[in-house]
A and B are shown apart, each in its own frame.
Chain A
Amino acid sequence: MSEFLQFFLTGVTTGAIYGLIALGFNVLYNATDLINFAQGEWVMLGGLGFYTLSVALGWPLVAAFAIAVVLVAVLGLCLERIALRPVKKPEPITLIIITVGASIFLRGVAMRLWGKDPYSVPALTASVKPVRVLGAALMPQSLWILGIVVALMTGLHLFAKRTLSGKAMEACAIHRHAAWILGIPSERMVLLAFGLSAALGAVGGVIIAPITMCSYDMGTMLGLKGFCAAMLGGLGSHWGAALGGVVLGVLESLGVGYFSSGIKDAIAFLVLLIILMVRPSGLLGASAVKRF
């Protein structure tokens, strides 16, 4: 029993991260119909940026956290401005390929800046003593991760449903041209979505870095897992992203625990394939979601 609980808690923690990355995909998808394959790179830059500010420069953790996220958000804005907006014929496939290119570029730059070695960053709370839950161990950092992810989920939900900007963003997602005719500055909304999704990725990077360490190449796999989680939960649905992430994380952890350690990454892609075949709209997604 305690073994199962351990697998489960581990799965929920990693799953929360996948959910957060999936949320980043969703925010952008909701505003622009675009899947940003550089989403994992925001996670990597968040983690490495946090390392540089907190460990290398010795800033207080909170300041390093905030500035790292802001910097990555600014990079997100730059990506939209420099690489995506100037595209003459913004077909979805063209834009997606641009984001793939951006992800390779960002990884290369990070390798130049930080080198190939992984870096370790401190946990948000100093204690390394785990909390005991029925014989299973839960790290304080896992509680931080769960707490921050839940807070961000709630915040985003309120932002989308209760604020004018959030509603304007959704309007852009439904029909950008119509929204523009109605006086919504759709280009600014797109820019906002880019910054927001980059910031979400960066938060993910900062909060997982103490557990997993960070290196220039951590983004690819995390990005793909986040994408699986988003598809699993249903593209565009925030709660779906969270659910998809947790389901994926727990499935992986149980797979390693009860079957074999070798199949961990295969599980994510198997789940993705099954979902695309059986229920393309995902668990909580609207059935009208388009497929690329």
Chain B
Amino acid sequence: MECRARPWVSWMAAAAVMLGCMVGPKGLWGAEPYKIGGVFSITGSSSFLGDPEKKSLEMAVEEINAQGGIDGRPVEAVIYDTEGDPTKAVLAVNKLISKDNVLAIIGPSLTPTTLAVMPIVERVQVPLISCAAGIQIVEPVKPYVFKTAQSDVLAVATIYKHMHKHGIKKIGILSVTNAFGVSGRDQLVKQAPEYGIKIVKEEAYGANDTDMTAQLTKIKGQNPDAVVCWGTNPGPAVVAKNMRQLGLTFALYQSHGVASPKFIELAGEAAEGIRLPTGKILVADLLPASDPQKAVLTRYIAEYTKRYGGGVSGFGGYAYDAMHMLAKALKGTGGDKAKIRDNLEKISGHVGITGVFTMTAQDHNGLGPDAFVMVEIRNGTWKLLD
């Protein structure tokens, strides 16, 4: 039985190899691929950003190739790891430009790494679509730098709009003393007058602090209508718990920095009733059918879960959106970088994971406040607010 099975197996293998040659990139395409660079913090302390970004980029490339590529040419992604280190990001981008001759670069994942590589892409004029949040990446506008991640400007606007609608006028701020918290605090202070909101108390805490009752007690003394906490885990969960402990009843708003199931797990019961802005991916199944992003989100979540077994987050969407917009911009350029850049600037109404993008010469992020929705945590899950 075994002796007879053996030739079968080798015939099958030979057939598979031949088939593979026929449908594989070279056999099918024949044309030179368009090379795209990717630089993400795939390992290191911010791997939770870079890892889904890398996976989503690969997924987007396969989707584009499966649909016939761009002008009959396939896309090929060359991806390097920055480990979240600006120096390594610079090395990787130099390598992508000089050795791999890429047409455009997607990434890096973080604001510091993006800021480090921006001068290079500006000098050699290679389009870059960053996946980092910092507003200073696209403000002021640099010709060759774009980004897909929402800025905290929008998150603050979303929170303030909700407050304005619900008659909240006096707030306290509690922000973490790192780049994320400081930037969020600045936006909170800057935008408050626009919405008729008065900041009665401003407090801060260290990223590793384990007790915020003193700050909350001080805020309580000013009788605010609500308090806004700006930080990433675990600080905000401690704030939520401390508020319960002190028996404080005013509303608690958190930033998009905690928009993940992990926060609910950490804060436990104290998470109930907390409101925060989040990208729509977290509440895709709650969105009304009329939402333009619903179909895109559902497809992305299903495909990502199928390929990588879950762990969908909004972060992968940054790279996914970047690749699909780049594919649109590549069309008809023949690989001319200046033309790709011009086309990126003309992208209008692109429905992505992060939001609906409309780039202009003045706006290289292209997102409106509708990229965020307000949610409230109820019964340990998200509830969409209007």
Q: Quick one: closest B residue to A142, CB to CB?
A: B245
Partner of B266, one of A6, A120, A139, A264: A120
- CB distance A130 to B213 under 8 Å? no
Residues in A with CB closer than 8 Å to B211 are 10, 13-14, 211-212, 253
- CB distance A215 to B210 under 8 Å? no
Shortest CB distance B222–A (Å): 12
Contact with B along A1-33 (1 / 0, CB 8 A): 001001100100110000000000000000000
- Among A213, A261, A262, chain B packs the most CB atoms within 10 A around the CB of A261
Contact with A along B239-255 (1 / 0, CB 8 A): 00100111100000000
Residues in B with CB closer than 8 Å to A147 are none
Known: A120-B266, A261-B204. A3 touches B247 (CB 8 A): no
Shortest CB distance A245–B (Å): 14
Stretch at the interface among B89-97, B230-238, B277-285: B230-238
Known: A116-B45, A261-B203. A6 touches B217 (CB 8 A): yes
Residues in B with CB closer than 8 Å to A253 are 211, 214
Complex alpha-carbon distance, A153 and B218, angstroms: 33
Check if A166 is an interface residue, CB within 8 A of chain B: no
Shortest CB distance A37–B (Å): 17
Complex alpha-carbon distance, A274 and B363, angstroms: 53
Complex alpha-carbon distance, A51 and B314, angstroms: 28
- CB distance B233 to A117 under 8 Å? yes
Check if A265 is an interface residue, CB within 8 A of chain B: yes
Partner of A118, one of B221, B234, B244: B234
Residues in B with CB closer than 8 Å to A130 are 245-247
Known: A10-B213, A118-B234, A261-B205. A213 touches B266 (CB 8 A): yes
By the criterion of a CB under 8 Å from any partner CB, how many residues of chain A are at the interface? 31
Interface set, chain A 178-215, CB cutoff 8 A to B = 208, 211-213, 215
- CB distance B214 to A257 under 8 Å? yes
Check if B198 is an interface residue, CB within 8 A of chain A: no
Check if A288 is an interface residue, CB within 8 A of chain B: no
Residues in A with CB closer than 8 Å to B238 are 212-213
Known: A213-B266, A217-B208, A218-B208. A118 touches B233 (CB 8 A): yes
Residues in A with CB closer than 8 Å to B245 are 128, 130, 137, 139
Residues in A with CB closer than 8 Å to B208 are 217-218, 221
Check if B313 is an interface residue, CB within 8 A of chain A: no
Check if B269 is an interface residue, CB within 8 A of chain A: yes
Residues in A with CB closer than 8 Å to B237 are 118, 120, 213
Residues in A with CB closer than 8 Å to B265 are 120
- CB distance A256 to B215 under 8 Å? yes
Shortest CB distance A122–B (Å): 8
Check if B196 is an interface residue, CB within 8 A of chain A: no
Check if B206 is an interface residue, CB within 8 A of chain A: yes
Q: Quick one: closest A residue to B265, CB to CB?
A: A120
- CB distance A6 to B213 under 8 Å? yes
Interface set, chain B 270-289, CB cutoff 8 A to A = 270
- CB distance B206 to A264 under 8 Å? yes
Check if B164 is an interface residue, CB within 8 A of chain A: no
Q: Quick one: closest B residue to A265, CB to CB?
A: B206
Partner of B262, one of A117, A137, A265: A117
Check if B332 is an interface residue, CB within 8 A of chain A: no
Shortest CB distance A223–B (Å): 12
Complex alpha-carbon distance, A212 and B245, angstroms: 13
Shortest CB distance A125–B (Å): 13
Known: A215-B234, A256-B215. A118 touches B204 (CB 8 A): no
- CB distance B210 to A212 under 8 Å? yes
Complex alpha-carbon distance, A218 and B209, angstroms: 9
Check if B368 is an interface residue, CB within 8 A of chain A: no
Complex alpha-carbon distance, A134 and B237, angstroms: 26
Q: Quick one: closest A residue to B213, CB to CB?
A: A10
Complex alpha-carbon distance, A128 and B215, angstroms: 20
- CB distance A137 to B206 under 8 Å? no
Residues in B with CB closer than 8 Å to A262 are 177, 204, 206
Residues in B with CB closer than 8 Å to A264 are 205-206, 209
Shortest CB distance A31–B (Å): 30
Q: Quick one: closest A residue to B269, CB to CB?
A: A128
Complex alpha-carbon distance, A6 and B211, angstroms: 12
Check if B292 is an interface residue, CB within 8 A of chain A: no
Interface set, chain A 117-141, CB cutoff 8 A to B = 117-120, 128, 130, 137, 139
Q: Quick one: closest B residue to A122, CB to CB?
A: B268
Shortest CB distance A132–B (Å): 8
Complex alpha-carbon distance, A116 and B269, angstroms: 23
Residues in A with CB closer than 8 Å to B209 are 264
Residues in A with CB closer than 8 Å to B268 are 120
Q: Quick one: closest B residue to A119, CB to CB?
A: B266
Residues in A with CB closer than 8 Å to B234 are 118, 212-213, 215
- CB distance B210 to A14 under 8 Å? yes
- Among B208, B211, B215, B237, chain A packs the most CB atoms within 10 A around the CB of B211
Shortest CB distance A112–B (Å): 12
Residues in B with CB closer than 8 Å to A211 are 210-211, 241
Q: Quick one: closest B residue to A214, CB to CB?
A: B234
Interface set, chain B 76-110, CB cutoff 8 A to A = none
With A116-B48, A139-B245, A257-B214 given, can you name 14 additional A-B contacts, CB distance below 8 Å? A3-B217, A118-B266, A128-B244, A128-B245, A128-B270, A213-B210, A217-B208, A221-B208, A253-B214, A261-B203, A261-B204, A261-B214, A262-B206, A264-B206
List chain A positions with a Cβ less than 8 A from chain B.
3, 6-7, 10, 13-14, 116-120, 128, 130, 137, 139, 208, 211-213, 215, 217-218, 221, 253, 256-257, 260-262, 264-265
16 contacts between A and B (CB under 8 A): A3-B217, A6-B217, A7-B214, A7-B217, A116-B48, A117-B233, A118-B233, A118-B234, A128-B270, A130-B247, A213-B234, A213-B237, A217-B208, A256-B215, A261-B204, A262-B206
The 8 residue pairs across chains A and B that have the minimum distance between CB atoms:
A212-B210, A118-B234, A256-B214, A257-B214, A261-B204, A120-B266, A10-B213, A213-B234
List chain B positions with a Cβ less than 8 A from chain A.
45, 48, 177, 203-206, 208-211, 213-215, 217-218, 221, 233-234, 237-238, 241, 244-247, 262, 265-270
